Structure 1
Amino acid sequence: MALSYKTRRRLSLVILLVLLPAYIVTAITVLNWLGRPPFLIELLVYVALGIVWALPLKAIFKGIGQADPDAPPRDSR
């Protein structure tokens, strides 16, 4: 079942405002708890984690910046 534009838009806001900051805090906490690795390894881990969160959510964010495709056309006068 495909999500409607409004549902995807609301879900993307929840993800960006609530879940993404929680993901960042968790990643930093776990990395610090395990002990700080050398700078390059730490950088690679953060880059990988930055890519990994977006891949499964790509379908939700796709087309959010566009106009609502389900909205009725506006009169251009």
Structure 2
Amino acid sequence: MALSYKTRKRLAVLVLVLGLPLYIAAALFVVSLFERPSIWVEFAVYVALGFLWAIPLKSVFLGVGQPDPDDDGPARD
């Protein structure tokens, strides 16, 4: 089922406003459970987790910054 443009846009905002901060808090919590590794290993873990959250949501964010394809735009006389 394909999502409409407005639905994808609303879902993208919801994910960025609520989901991403929750994901960051969860990632920080999980990493804090282990003994602190070297700074480079910790940096690599955070970079990997930074990319990992976007992979399943790629279809939600795809084309959200573009104009609405179903919108006719302003009427021209």
State whether TM-score is above 0.5: yes
Deviations 1:17-51 (A, max 9, x none): 00100000110111012121111110000000011
1:46 & 1:32 partners in 2: Cα distance? Answer: 12
Partner of 1:17: 17
2:76 & 2:39 partners in 1: Cα distance? Answer: 56
2:30 & 2:9 partners in 1: Cα distance? Answer: 30
> If the length of structure 1 is used for normalisation, what is the TM-score?
0.92
2:33 & 2:15 partners in 1: Cα distance? Answer: 25
Q: Does 2:66 align with 1:70?
A: no
After superposition, the CA RMSD in angstroms is 1.2
Percent identity of equivalent pairs: 49
Matched residue type, 1:55: I
Task: Please show how residues 1-77 of structure 1 align to structure 2 within 5 Å.
Answer: 1-76=1-76
Deviation at 1:70, TM superposition (A): 1.1
Gaps of 5+ in 2: none
